[in-house]
Homo-oligomer: A and B are copies of this chain.
Amino acid sequence: MKTTSTAPRAAKAATATATATALKLYVVLARAQRAIGERTQADLVPHGISITEFAIMEALYHKGPLLLGEVQRKILVSSGGITFLVDKLAERGYVERKLCATDRRARYAALTRKGTALMKEIFPGHAAAICEAMSVLTQAEQKEMTALLKRLGKAAAGRDDT
């Protein structure tokens, strides 16, 4: 009798705790991401580059010229957004558009010499800042966390390919 009368309450308490755990996890996840993002953004401010602009340049720096749609999907912005951002980077001389030989609708975005020079200048510092931010964790912790976050992110994005 005592067992049955406490069981529903115990189950509710366990659910409330699990909920609190999950909610707390999301809060600290969002906070960590924001804090690290703000740190890396600080290095971009002197160059007048936004985080998203930097992400575009980073993608082009590491992958070479990409179709606008490819960049868009990599950095997760809207189609109008990629046009806007590439326009801005092009105005600054960091990026240029190139024709696609096989599809007349499409355009490649590519770093200019100036853009490449800027990336050569600021990327090492960016990488160092990220490294420093993550250095409160051991390499093993970083790797484990990467695996867990990957799982989280993929599930939340609706992709279940592990």
Contact = CB atoms under 8 A, between A and B. Distances in A.
Interface of A: 18-19, 21-26, 28-39, 76, 127-128, 130-131, 133-137, 139, 141-143, 145-146, 148-157
Contacts of A18: 131, 139
Nearest to A33: B33
- How often does this chain occur in the complex, in copies? 2
Contacts of A141: 148
Contacts of A134: 21-22, 25-26, 152
Contacts of A135: 22
Contacts of A137: 148, 151-152
Nearest to A156: B35
A83 B135 CA distance: 37
A146 B35 contact: no
A71 to B, nearest CB: 15
> Counting chain B CB atoms within 10 Å of each CB, which of A33, A130, A154 scores highest?
A33
A86 to B, nearest CB: 21
B28 A150 contact: yes
A139 B22 CA distance: 8
Nearest to A31: B153
> Counting chain B CB atoms within 10 Å of each CB, which of A23, A38, A148, A152 scores highest?
A152
Given A136-B155, A139-B18, A151-B136, A130 B32 contact: no
